[in-house]
Amino acid sequence: MVSPRPTIMDVARTAGVSSATVSRVINGASTVDKQLSRRVRAAVRSTGYVPNAMGRSLRRGGTSQVAVVAPDAENPYFTQIIGEVERIARRDHYSVTVAHTEDDLDIERDCFAQLVGRHVSGVLLVPVHSIHTDLSLLTEAGIPVVLVDRWIEGAATDLVATDNLDAGRQAAQHLHERGFHAPAVLAGPAELRTTEDRVRGYLGAWREAGVSIEDSAILRGDLHVESGRAMMRRILDAGKADCVYVTNNRMSAGAFEAMRGVADAPALLATDDDLWTRLVTPSVSVVHQPVRATSRAAARMLGQRMANPDEEPSTTLLRSRIIERESTAPR
């Protein structure tokens, strides 16, 4: 049975104060004694209460909107995140605005400026770049940001993401356990932390198994379908690999297209449980990211950040799992 969500009355009982006092503390009233305020905030943390930040903003004359900023409108992974956040928003009676950056830093900066102008209450952000994305427009405007799926190096910001090192390790272990011994990997840009961690985990697990991967079997693309198609053709032309891990879902689709109908094609392990992986022949094994859990954790974290802006940033890493299908069956 699911436990009921903590209420403001639970916080009041824990802190030994009235619900009106809790409300004043949560809404930032300056008339509350500092020691009492600390007690109430400690009770908020201990009960797990998440105030309705959107409702508070509306009562203060602000907006009831949060924004989801994602890099690719056509990527099923990001559309699933957006859809899940919108479902949560409907449940909690606030609205969501969606912006797509097309993986372009200039567009991303323009999006941030527009969101500041709209006075949004918070932002769930899948950043374009792990180094060059600049959050200062948002943070200087006092807008809370939670990063989703991708890191920004050195950013003192909340993060919810897949444990990508572990995902790469699981990929290698799955292939090794099925008897493959000549691995390759099709990866995204090295400067994208998500990609790099998956590659590091994959290479590290193969090394632990006593298998080294030649540089020529570590190919990098731009995260799009055509890139996956082109890289897989290079792998097929070389004729050395007996298994291939693809670190991105759209490149996975291109890789499958390139190898479709090829005799003795290598085993394929894709990323994300997109619909096509279940419909094609052979069906495609995947490293499945917990997109629903990621979305829920990110939305919850943003609510907590809006309610408690001075809390230390936190990181939540969620574990992927392998869904085994025909494409990695032992040969």
- Would you say residue 182 has pLDDT above 50? yes
Listed residues 18, 33, 49: the one ending a domain: 49
Q: Is residue 3 part of a domain?
A: no
- 27 vs 322, higher pLDDT: 322
Residues 156 and 169 in one domain: no
Count CB atoms within 10 A of the CB of residue 38. Answer: 13
pLDDT at position 180: 98
Q: Span 37-63, mean pLDDT?
A: 65
Question: Could you tell me if 21 and 84 lie in one domain?
Answer: no
Domain identity same for 208 and 146: no
The per-residue pLDDT for range 141-150, each reduced to its tens digit, is 889 999 999 9
CB neighbour list of residue 299: distance below 8 Å, 6 or more residues apart: 84, 85, 88, 89, 124
Shared domain check, 238 and 141: no
What are the tens digits of pLDDT across the range 5-37?
A: 677 788 889 999 887 787 777 665 556 777 888
Amino acid 73: pLDDT: 82
Q: Which of 99, 109, 156 is nearest to 129 (CA)?
A: 109
Q: What is the CATH number of the domain that holds 38?
A: 1.10.260.40
Pair (169, 278) in one structural domain: yes
Position 275 in a domain? yes
Question: What per-residue confidence (pLDDT) applies to 240?
Answer: 96
pLDDT at 29: 58
Q: 196-246 pLDDT, tens per residue?
A: 999 999 999 999 999 999 999 999 999 999 999 999 999 999 999 999 999
* Helix or strand (DSSP H, E) at 15: helix 8-15
**Inside any domain, residue 1:** no
pLDDT at 62 > cutoff 50: no
Over residues 77-89, mean pLDDT: 90
Q: Based on the domain organization, do 178 and 243 belong to the same domain?
A: yes
Band (pLDDT 50/70/90 cuts) for residue 96 is very high
Helices (H), 188-282: 193-208, 225-238, 249-259, 275-279
Residues 14 and 128 in one domain: no
pLDDT of residue 1: 41
Q: Which residues contact 140 (CB under 8 A, 6 or more apart)?
A: none
Reported confidence tier of residue 163, pLDDT bands at 50, 70, 90: very high
Residues 231 and 194 in one domain: yes
- What is the total count of domains within the chain? 3
Residue with the larger pLDDT of the pair 132 and 270: 270
Please indicate, yes or no, whether residues 168 and 276 belong to a single structural domain of this protein. Answer: yes
Question: Does 171 reside within a domain?
Answer: yes
Do residues 13 and 103 share a domain?
no
Average pLDDT estimate for 176-189: 98
According to DSSP, the β-strands at 267-271 and 285-288 are parallel
The kind and range of the H/E element at 304 are helix 291-307
Which span out of 76-85, 89-98, 185-194, 196-205 was modeled with the highest average pLDDT? Answer: 196-205
Report the C-alpha gap between 144 and 18 in whole angstroms: 28
Considering the domain architecture, whether residues 147 and 79 belong to the same structural domain is answered as: yes
Q: What is the extent of the structural domain holding 92? A: 54-161+291-319
Q: What pLDDT score does 129 carry?
A: 87
Average pLDDT of the residues of the chain: 89
Band the pLDDT of 54: cuts 50, 70, 90. Answer: very low
Cβ pair 124, 148 in contact under 8 A: yes
pLDDT the model gives residue 50: 62
Q: CA 267 → CA 136, 178, 205, 228, 283, distances in Å?
A: 44, 10, 18, 15, 11
Residue 2 lies in a domain: no
The CATH code of the domain that includes 82 is 3.40.50.2300
Spatial CA neighbour of 141 closest among 162, 121, 171: 121
For residue 221, what pLDDT is reported? 97
- Give the pLDDT of residue 58: 42
Share of the chain above pLDDT 70, in %: 92
> Quick one: 70 and 176 in the same domain?
no
193-208 vs 164-177: helix crossing angle, rounded to 10: 40
- The pLDDT of residue 308: 84
